[in-house]
């Protein structure tokens, strides 16, 4: 399902993204000129592993999950993208082949830029290349973080970590709303949904109260030591 043009709200989101925010206004306009927009139901697949992709994507709203498939059909999330995030960039420099499947994890709206056009621009204007490098490096760091966390932390520790990463720096007690279903969080943390549930249980004695999607932290100190 396609919408033809960007709304001004969409433009605002894009302008604040890691990618566009580093570019001169003229460059931004040159790119946005032929940007298309598509809407997706939950569970829609945007592209699949190995498939050729000739676009680069931005999440305007909703949530897009990148995952790999195992031989047995099991899925492993390798990234989750939210409003403002750019994805599919790596493919531009890897033979235009997707390294993972992309699926809307909730109803989502996505902007698309032809990657041919973008790589052409990157070859002409170095600030475009620079912006791409920053996006790609940032995403690389995220993946590395994920890998290290998987290897170093237990389930409750990963959850504690995730919660702390949402803590306004310095406050001892706070609360926030999960930006997606627990299901998705479980995937992002590399856990089965049951394991996430249990992890929350284990964190309760340390002052973590979960009510629906709202997480309340009563004792930041305890979390950091978990």
Partner DNA sequence: CGCAAACTTGAGTATAGTCAACTTCCGTGG
Partner DNA sequence: CCACGGAAGTTGACTATACTCAAGTTTGCG
Binding site for a second copy (CB under 8 A): 68, 70, 74, 76-78, 89-90, 92-94, 99-100, 122-126, 129-130, 132-134, 136-141, 143-148, 150-153, 190
Shortest Å, Cβ 5 to a second copy? 30
CB of 178 to DNA, least distance (A): 8
Q: Should residue 196 be labelled a site residue for DNA when binding is judged by CB under 7 A?
A: yes
Q: In terms of CB distance, is 75 or 216 closer to a second copy?
A: 75
Stretch that binds DNA, among 51-59, 129-137, 139-147, 149-157 (CB under 7 A): 149-157
Cβ partners under 8 Å of residue 27, min gap 6: 121, 125, 127, 128
Among 7, 120, 154, 173, binds DNA (CB under 7 A): 154
Cβ-contact 78, 84 below 8 angstroms: no
Of 44, 179, 181, 186, nearest in space to 104 by CA: 44
C-alpha dist (Å) from residue 36 to 57, 70, 110, 128: 10, 32, 8, 19
> Among residue numbers 156 through 185, which ones bind DNA (CB under 7 A)?
156, 181-183
Q: Provide the β-strand partners of residue 38.
A: 2, 110
Count of chain residues binding DNA (CB under 7 A): 24
Cα–Cα distance between 1 and 197 in angstroms, integer?
35
If DSSP codes are grouped into helix, strand and coil, which group holds residue 47? strand
Candidates 194, 205, 221, 225; binder of DNA (CB under 7 A) is 194
Comparing CA positions, the residue from 34, 5, 19, 21 lying closest to residue 131 is: 19
Yes or no: say if 202 and 194 are a contact pair by the CB < 8 Å rule.
Answer: no
Q: Which of 113, 142, 104 is nearest to 10 (CA)?
A: 113
- Residue 96 binding result from DNA, a second copy, none, given CB thresholds of 5 to 8 Å by partner type: none
Q: Which is nearer to DNA, 197 or 219 (CB)?
A: 197
| Residue 200 partner contact from DNA, a second copy, none using kind-dependent CB cut-offs of 5 to 8 Å | DNA
* Residue indicated by tokens 């033979």: 95
- Residue 210 interacts, among a second copy, DNA, none and using kind-specific CB cut-offs from 5 to 8 Å, with DNA
In the complex, the residues that contact DNA under the rule CB under 7 A are 74, 153-156, 181-183, 190-201, 210-213
């Amino acid at each position: 399902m396609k919408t033809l043009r960007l709304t001004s709200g969409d433009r605002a989101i894009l302008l604040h993204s890691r990618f566009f925010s580093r570019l001169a206004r003229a460059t931004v306009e040159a790119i946005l000129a032929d940007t298309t927009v598509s809407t997706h139901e939950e569970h829609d697949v945007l592209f699949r592993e190995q498939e050729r992709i000739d676009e680069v994507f931005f999440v305007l709203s909703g949530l897009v999950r990148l995952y790999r498939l195992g031989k047995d059909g099991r899925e492993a999330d390798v990234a989750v993208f939210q409003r403002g995030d750019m994805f599919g960039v790596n493919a531009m420099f890897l033979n235009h082949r997707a390294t993972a499947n992309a699926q809307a994890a909730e109803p989502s709206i996505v902007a698309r830029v032809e990657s041919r056009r973008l790589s052409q621009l990157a070859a002409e204007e170095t600030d475009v290349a620079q912006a791409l490098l920053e996006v790609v490096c940032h995403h690389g760091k995220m993946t590395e973080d994920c890998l290290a966390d998987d290897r170093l932390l237990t389930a409750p520790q990963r959850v504690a970590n995730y919660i702390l990463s949402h803590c306004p720096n310095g406050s001892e007690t706070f609360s926030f709303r999960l930006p997606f279903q627990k299901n998705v969080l479980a995937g992002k943390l590399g856990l089965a949904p049951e394991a996430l549930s249990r992890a929350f249980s284990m964190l309760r004695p340390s002052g973590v109260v979960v009510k629906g999607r709202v997480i309340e932290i009563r004792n930041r100190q305890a979390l950091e030591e978990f």
